[in-house]
Amino acid sequence: MAKTLKQEFTKGLWKDLPPFRLVLGLCPVLGVTTTMENGLGMGVATTFVLCGSNLLVSLLRQAIPPRVRIACFVIIIAAFVTVVELLMQAYTYPLYLKLGVFIPLIVVNCIVLGRAEAFAYKNKVSSSVADALGIGIGFTLSLSLLGSLRELLGNGSLTIWGDLSYSIIDVVPSFQPFTFATQAPGAFVCLGLMLCIINLIGK
C-alpha cells in the first residue's frame, strides 16, 4: 500500500473535495443548503452512510461477486440510510422534517455509490474508512459553507445548530437581505460561483 491512511483521509478535503472537485451528488447540495444547519445536518447524515457503506463493502469485498456488485452496494447503502432515517426521526425530528425527501435520497447520492465502487471494493478496511471519513468531512464542510453563504446573503442570519443562531442585522443595521440567494435560482447561481472560485484557487 503506497498511500498512508493520512493521505487517504486528506485527499477528500482538497484534491477530491466533493462536490467541487468530484462534481457528483449535486441534488442535496442544491436542495438543502438554504441554512447552515441544514447543510451541516445533511453532511453529517451522508458521512455516516458513507462510512458505514465503505466499511461493509470493504469487509465483504471478497464475498460480493463482481457481476451483481452494484445491486449489493445499493442494498448495503439503503440499509444504512434507513438507520439514519430512524435515528433522525428519534433524535432530531425538526431537522428531519426540514431535510424531508433528501434523507431517503442519500441512497441514490452518486458520491456514496461512487466511493463504494471506486474505492472500498478495491481497498482494505482501514483505508476505506479513512477515505469515507475524508470525503464525508469534505462534503460536510462544502455543504456548510454553501449553506452559511446563502443564509447570510438571503436571510442575514447564521443558524449553526438549533437555537444557536446569529443575526447580521444586529451588527450591520442597514443590511438588506438578498432573498434571491435562499430561493431556488439562487442555489444554482451560488454553487456555480463557488465552483468558479474553487477553480481560480486551484490553478
Rounded CA gap, 1 and 198, in Å? 30
Interface with another protein, residue 86, by CB under 8 A = yes
C-alpha cell at 38: 441544514
Binding another protein (rule: CB under 8 A), the pick from 5, 13, 24, 72 is: 24
- Report if residue 74 touches another protein, rule: CB under 8 A: yes
Nearest Cα to 43, choosing from 134, 168, 171, 154? 134
Please give the angle made by the CA atoms of 90, 96 and 99, to the nearest 5 degrees.
Answer: 165
Asked whether position 196 contacts another protein by CB under 8 A, the answer is: yes
Residue 156 beta carbon to another protein: minimum distance, rounded to whole angstroms:
21
Residues 6+ apart with CB under 8 A from 139: 12, 18, 19, 25, 43, 46, 47, 50, 111
Q: How far apart are the first and last CA of the chain?
A: 29
Task: Extract the C-alpha cell encoding 13.
Answer: 478535503
Judged by CB under 8 A, the number of residues near another protein is: 42
Q: Which of 13, 27, 125, 160 binds another protein (CB under 8 A)?
A: 27
- SS3 state at 27: helix
**The one among 93, 100, 126, 172 contacting another protein by CB under 8 A:** 100
193 binds another protein, rule: CB under 8 A: yes
Residue 14, number of CB atoms within 10 A of its CB? 14
Q: Contact with another protein (CB under 8 A): which of 25, 39, 43, 154?
A: 25
Residue 5 touches another protein, criterion: CB under 8 A: no
Residues that bind another protein (CB under 8 A): 23-28, 30-31, 71, 74-75, 78-79, 81-82, 85-86, 100-101, 104-105, 107-110, 113, 183-189, 191-193, 195-197, 199-200, 203
